[in-house]
Each structure stands twice: as structure tokens, then as C-alpha cells.
Amino acid sequence: MYYSIVIPKVKDVHTMVSIQVTLFDVNGKYRPISTIVQAESLDAYTANKSKYHVRAIQKMCAQRCRTWASLKADGYQKMKARIYDKEKIQAENAERYACIKKERGWN
């Protein structure tokens, strides 16, 4: 399994953080699956990444009513994790939507 982790600079590393974990299909046949897990702190996450990744995979399997073996058989073998900052993501989405409205001529 391939892991890609994006950890931006956080002001306080000892606060509760949300980690968004996404599984990708290596063949590109299926859409990505993602979930959010809570970590006690950024230090705790970096020290025990595999524990949080397993927790995320278990959560995804429960949400989709599938087993890890069936996800793996469908090609979900690439994983990406990032700090989930809701305000930043909403700002990026608003900016992206504004560009789409501008190029399509919507008002």
C-alpha cells in the first residue's frame, strides 16, 4: 500500500486534530473513499500513523458495509492523509466555484 501524508505547519501541535484519510483505486475505475478520524495531537498522529490509518480503514469498511479484503480486491490500495481544516477547504471551494461561475457566465 502506498502512503502519502501532507502535514502542514500547525500553530499548536498539542491540540486535537482531524485527519482526513482517503483511499484511491490504483486502476482509476472507482471513486475515492474518504473519512475523518480524530487524533489527540499532531505528535500523537505522527508517532502512531499506522494506528490511525487502520482506524480510518475500519471506519470506511463500516460505512460501506464491506470488508478490507473486498476493498483491496477492488484496487483501493493507495492512501492519502491530510490535516482536515474545514475553514480552509470551504474557502478553496468558494474560490473554485467563483471561477466556474465566471467562466460559464453565471451571475
The predicted pLDDT at position 106 comes to 84
pTM beyond 0.75: the answer is no
Q: What is the pLDDT of residue 15?
A: 80
For the purposes of burial, counting CB atoms within 10 Å of the CB of 19, is it exposed (0-12), middle (13-18) or buried (19 or more)? buried
Q: pLDDT digits over 33-73, tens only? A: 999 999 998 899 999 999 999 999 999 999 999 999 999 99
Sorted by where each begins, the domain ranges of the chain are: 2-104
Q: In angstroms, rounded to a whole number, what is the distance separating the alpha carbons of residues 23 and 41?
A: 22
